[in-house]
Structure 1
């Protein structure tokens, strides 16, 4: 009986209205063009990375296995929010149903949290490869890689289910306007018709803590790697430094957003939308650029793939 009343309270708001990035029509058209270009390039770049890694047997290593997972997650992560945002650009009222909003929040946190765990695993992979090269194939064997992949996806699912369940149980009876271009937990719980301080503390202790702890672990890992690189020969050091620099760039951009949004109470700041743009559209695009333009093995594999494709067409 109590659950039925709670469900009825929750369902009082059938739709939420997304405020979007701007109410100015010219700005909206510029935003549409920018997001469309970013999204198309994100799909092409990340899918090409996955295909290249599958095609080239030289890239069948733990590092590239995790990189293909990262590219897959980036495609999914961007797809959760960007297509809806592109459609809303042409809509006078940017509405999203309660069910669609909950679904968007679930998958947004699933892919975001899974990516955080994946970046941490990738740092560990680089640590073993650089600091313990003789033990690398033993420590990072395929069984371990598969178990790590299963663990990070399971962890992301549990995290997302927990946050979405907490948000879903709150009563929503108005207002119904979300100050962003997609549904996220901090913005949605602000619309609940009840005191949400306990939920906000749980969000900070969950999402915020995961982001901060993983960021600290990553920084410490790369600091240890950089110290270890001082003892290596110049060529090997240059290649390892390039890889670590790429990873650190991704980590800073991605985790910077998570720490900024989820490590404070649910209050709206002018910077939130700008940070959200980087989180949903820019970072998934930067990953293929960083990992292909800075990586000689990937560039060589891409050239080989393109060369074979051109020969087949001829």
Structure 2
């Protein structure tokens, strides 16, 4: 690993990921609308669960946690992209850039953890319906959630800790915001040097994606086994409950798998395709999650209907 000598003191980065975009204002307005709707919908979900004591149950606490993760995840990069595309703000200071990378990575990791825990919650509810609240109490749910946040912070801190010691030769970010690959490409490195860090992070992401996704799949294998032993009415109820989670899992894992894993295996993406997948992975789950759980979870749906009736 060799470094070039022409290092510079970077005080701010110039975001160049959207330079080739033909209609930046249109894309920016679409991102703005989706972002606002996603944040508001998740906030409503959180407030409904917090203020209704009947919803203070493990499943709804996990839905509330997922809503918090979604707000964090979509807020990590969306404001920067909106500012660039709508207001023309193309620069970001060094420290906020590192913070953005940390928050984005934290949202990425926590989304995986949240979906995996929710799959286990559904397995426990279907396989042990009568002992469910004995096994998974509110206290245990909160302790598990806090533990995952601590683990997520530790994993998310790896990327900034890797980037900070490296000298920089460039101040232009190739991508749409301060994600890890964009910052690594600004360092003073020869052709082979960045691949060491890209491959290192790819290995970590691969294991996170692999283990959480396999854990979710195994949970659903168990769910399918117990569903086969149930009556037709119970099958419909279980299927409705699990479909919500499957929709969310699909929306999240598909773009993450393409960007993080397939590109390391040789799949080449254009800048536009990469930006599209990144935007989709950030905004898609955050927009879909609250509506899926509001419309497909009876207690939350009934709560919203009663609020409109009263008003």
- Structure-1 residue corresponding to 2:243: 245
Shifted more, 204-213 versus 188-197: the winner is 188-197
Q: Does 1:119 find its partner at 2:115?
A: yes
Q: Does 1:57 find its partner at 2:35?
A: no
- Residue 234 of structure 1, CA deviation: 2.3
- Structure-2 residue corresponding to 1:177: 172
Structure 2 CA distance for partners of 1:189 and 1:44, relative to 1, 3 Å? same
- Structure-1 residue corresponding to 2:233: 235
Give the number of aligned pairs. Answer: 301
TM-score by length of 1: 0.88
Cα deviation digits, residues 55-104 of structure 1 (max 9, x gap): 22222110110001111111121111111211111455611222121110
Cα deviation digits, residues 237-263 of structure 1 (max 9, x gap): 212212211111211221223322222
- Residue 209 of structure 1, CA deviation: 1.3
Where do 5+ consecutive residues of structure 1 fail to align? 1-5
SS in 2 for 1:67: helix
- Structure-2 residue corresponding to 1:210: 208
- Structure-2 residue corresponding to 1:287: 289
Cα deviation digits, residues 110-134 of structure 1 (max 9, x gap): 1221121111111111110001112
Cα deviation digits, residues 256-287 of structure 1 (max 9, x gap): 23322222439862221111111122220111
Pick aligned residue for 1:192 from 184, 187, 190: 187
Q: Is the 8 A contact 2:251 2:284 kept in 1?
A: no
Q: Is the 8 A contact 1:127 1:225 kept in 2?
A: yes
- Residue 10 of structure 1, CA deviation: 7.8
Q: Is the 8 A contact 1:17 1:93 kept in 2?
A: no
SS in 2 for 1:89: helix
TM-score by length of 2: 0.89
Note the 1:143-182 alignment, pairs <5 A. Answer: 143-174=139-170, 176-182=171-177
Where do 5+ consecutive residues of structure 2 fail to align? none
Q: Distance in 2 between matches of 1:22 and 1:173?
A: 20
Aligned alpha-carbon RMSD (Å): 2.3
